[in-house]
Amino acid sequence: MLSGFLSAFRTPDLRNKLLFTLGILAIYRLGVSIPTPGVSYENVQQCANISSTNSAFEVLNLFSGGALLQLSIFALGIMPYITASIMVQLLRVLIPRFEALYKEGQEGQAKLTQYTRYITVGFAALQSASYITMARNNVFFPDCTLPIIPNDSWNVIAVMVLTMTAGTVLIMWLGERITERGVGNGMSLLIFTSIAASFPGVASAIWNSSNGLSNAIIVGIVVLVVIAAVVFVEQSQRRIPVQYAKRMVGRRMLGGSSTYIPIKINMAGIIPVIFASSLLMLPQVIIQFTGEDSSDWVIWLRDNVADPASPLNIALYILLIIFFAYFYTAITFNPNDVADNMKKYGGFIPGIRPGEPTADFLSYVLSRITAAGSLYLAAVALIPTVTFVALGLSTSIPFGGASILILVGVGLDTVKRIQSQLEQRHYEGFLK
């Protein structure tokens, strides 16, 4: 592997791409440390040291690289863009115009990307206004009375909303530049960088707990096992054979080749875990906004739904992951379209008639593979949380199965892209 890295940096164009990507990531991490105008950075640091953080925002703070609770210019992170991208994909099912644009090829998808950018700006403005309101009401740090925003006049708030929205647009632009001129998917690499930046804090929290050494060893072993399982499953796929019939085009005989349709076990990726985590954060936010209300329903919600270690919370988490795995897979993979394309170009699955029988067979295979994939996602997402509970660690530590899935998935994708470019230049690459 070391020789592969050296070969990558010896190749001028690939070296430039790698250095460009690293430079963009450095700019992103620099922006995380710059506070938004109007925020008292000293008070934020003091509140972070003396007050416990609202666990409802730990995951969002993780994906922003720690910028959210500091209210930096990159406080929103890349989440508004991800939310907008998912919404555009969902709208393809509801709006025929979006589906038609998707099928037009590169030109139509460029228009969808433009719509995604517009929606991102709208989400960023709404979220920045919401987070600023929460910061003014001490929702981020409930036990701290220091004012995070000393001057809350309307012009200061307007500048803060504009700055944080512009920060999200800049992050989106940086991610697109990595995708175009760098190595790998830019948005994924920005999330990868944000999660990796939390490692020192997580390691410190585990080490400072009681039985720090033994806890660190156990957590390390569990993380390594989960990483190995993620790598194994993410590389696994069901290959459905496809045979293309021979046909005459002019004087040439075309077709007659054999290929396959690769169906991954985890077709939905990390999206079901993100959706499930987001929905389960709503009870915690509701409890936070109720203040000192001690009504029975608030107490029940806090003890049974908002607590990550409660059986009901775990059961809801598993059910939501399974539901969103099926839902998102049905959106991203349409068996009818695949069957129609195969029939159009003379392809067929051996033993299955073209057309509707092929679509039914693909749906049959997809539903059963998704069942295994959704259970795998639920297991990977819960193993770290169960480990923290068993060791007596805080369940609010912002590191779990979702983080490991993102880190391993993005890492594998980036390494494969670098390897493919090395193999084009007759090098061995990273993977043997």
405 in any annotated domain: no
Which pLDDT value is given to residue 277? Answer: 75
Name the least confident of 14-28, 217-231, 267-281.
267-281
Asked if 386 and 318 sit in the same domain, the reply is: yes
342 in any annotated domain: yes
**Cα 398 from Cα 204, distance rounded (Å):** 12
Asked if 206 and 170 sit in the same domain, the reply is: no
Asked if 165 and 226 sit in the same domain, the reply is: no
Asked if 41 and 51 sit in the same domain, the reply is: yes
Please, are residues 354 and 342 in contact by the beta-carbon 8 Å criterion?
A: yes
Asked if 154 and 237 sit in the same domain, the reply is: no
Return the higher-pLDDT residue of 203 and 318: 318
Asked if 150 and 226 sit in the same domain, the reply is: no
Name the least confident of 37-46, 118-127, 168-177.
37-46
Can you state the percent helix, strand and coil of the chain, rounding each to 5?
Answer: 70, 5, 25
Asked if 203 and 190 sit in the same domain, the reply is: no
Please, are residues 157 and 135 in contact by the beta-carbon 8 Å criterion?
A: no
185 in any annotated domain: yes
410 in any annotated domain: no
Asked if 182 and 257 sit in the same domain, the reply is: no
Mean pLDDT across 58-78: 78
**Cα 272 from Cα 406, distance rounded (Å):** 12
Asked if 217 and 307 sit in the same domain, the reply is: yes
Which pLDDT value is given to residue 202? Answer: 72
Give the domain extent around 41: 1-198
- How large a percentage of the chain has pLDDT more than 70? 84
Mean pLDDT across 321-348: 84
DSSP structural state of residue 406: H
Which pLDDT value is given to residue 212? Answer: 63
Asked whether residue 170 carries a pLDDT value surpassing 90, the answer given is yes
The widest CA-to-CA distance across the chain, in whole angstroms, is: 83
Asked whether residue 394 carries a pLDDT value surpassing 70, the answer given is no
426 in any annotated domain: no
**Cα 195 from Cα 62, distance rounded (Å):** 6
Mean pLDDT across 155-166: 91
Asked if 185 and 325 sit in the same domain, the reply is: no
Task: Please name the amino acid found at residue 154.
Answer: W
Asked if 33 and 44 sit in the same domain, the reply is: yes
Domains held by the chain: number: 2
Asked if 286 and 381 sit in the same domain, the reply is: yes
**Cα 396 from Cα 400, distance rounded (Å):** 10
Please, are residues 73 and 33 in contact by the beta-carbon 8 Å criterion?
A: no
Confidence band for 399, pLDDT divided at 50, 70 and 90: low
DSSP secondary structure of 121-184: HHHHHHHHHHHHHHHHTT-SSTT--S-SSS---HHHHHHHHHHHHHHHHHHHHHHHHHHHHSSS
CATH code of the domain covering residue 31:
1.10.3370.10
421 in any annotated domain: no
